[in-house]
Every structure is written in structure tokens, then in C-alpha cells.
Amino acid sequence: MVQVADHFGNRFALGRLCRLPARGVFCRCCRKDYTHGNERNCSELAAYFILSGLATLFSYGRALWVNFQGSFTLATVVGVIGIGFSLAFLYVGISLPRLLRSSAGRVVTLLYVSTGWVLFVFLLGLLEGLAPVAVITLLLSLLILWYLLKNVRRLAAEAKVSSSGTVPSGT
């Protein structure tokens, strides 16, 4: 039996609506064969986690290096915690496919806690004064975290559906 799908995710078998899993789907719009529906999306999301982790690791690492030149302050503690978040993002990016199947809730929790951390660091920075760079960094960080959260939830639901072999009632 040949499975066919369009770009909207509708799956067909020999011209009729089919409720089969998304493995081995042939797209009739672009004539491509997709052996695993969310493989590309998962690797793109992993790249976002890795790039976010590397960017914050560089940023917090540079700030921590400057703070280690002097005495132990609150900025040093913030830098160490920020490096911890960076390493967590790198770990999630490296092992994302496995985490989506086994413990997607922990990834979602990491994203919520990271959002709280970004807001906390922004509010802490407000004590020194409002800087336009801080506002832009806050907005960019929140947009990236929202994108990651939205797609982690979607891919986790797809991974759960593909592992159970059923299709949700909405499709």
C-alpha cells in the first residue's frame, strides 16, 4: 500500500483518507519521499538549542571572566548559573530526539525556567538602569524561547503519536 500526503499533513492511501502513521509518506505536492516526518524539524530545533547554548555560553563566559578578575559578587553567581543554563541547552540540543520521546516534559520545564531566568536577569539589570541593548536582548531571548517551546510541544506530540502508531483525532 502506498501512502500519500500533501503539505497539510493529510495522509491518503490510494486516493482515500488514511489514518496511518507518518512513516514512509510520499508527498503528492512536491513528489518527495519522507521516511520520517519530523526528522528535519527535529534537527533544526536541535540546532536552535545548540546555537542558543553556545551564544549564552560565550556571553556568560566572557562576563564571568571579567568578574573573576575582582572579588566574588552577585554577577559571578549570575554568570555561573547562566553557564549552567547554557550547558543544559547544549545537552538538550545534542540529545533532542531521545529526549522528545522519553522526557519532553523536562525539556518544557527547562524552557519555562529559562524564561524565568531571562526575566530575572533583565530585572536585575534594571537596577543599573535601562539599556536599549537589554530590552532587545530580552525580546530576542523571549522570542527564541517561545519558538523552542512551541516546537518542542509539537514534536513531542508527533513523537508520541508515531510511537503509539495512532493518529490524533484532529487530523
| 169 located within any domain | no
Q: Which regions in the chain score pLDDT beneath 70? A: 1-40, 162-171
Cell of 105: 516534559
79 shares a domain with 51: yes
- Which strands make up the sheet holding 16-17, listed edge to edge? 16-17, 11-13, 3-5, 25-27, 33-34
Question: What pLDDT sits at residue 140?
Answer: 94
49 shares a domain with 61: yes
Q: How far is CA 134 from the centre of its chain?
A: 22
Question: What pLDDT sits at residue 161?
Answer: 73
Q: What is the pTM of this model?
A: 0.70
15: helix, strand or coil: coil
48 shares a domain with 18: no
- Distance, in Å, from the CA atom of 153 to the CA atom of 146, rounded to the nearest integer, reads 11
| 170 located within any domain | no
Question: What pLDDT sits at residue 13?
Answer: 46
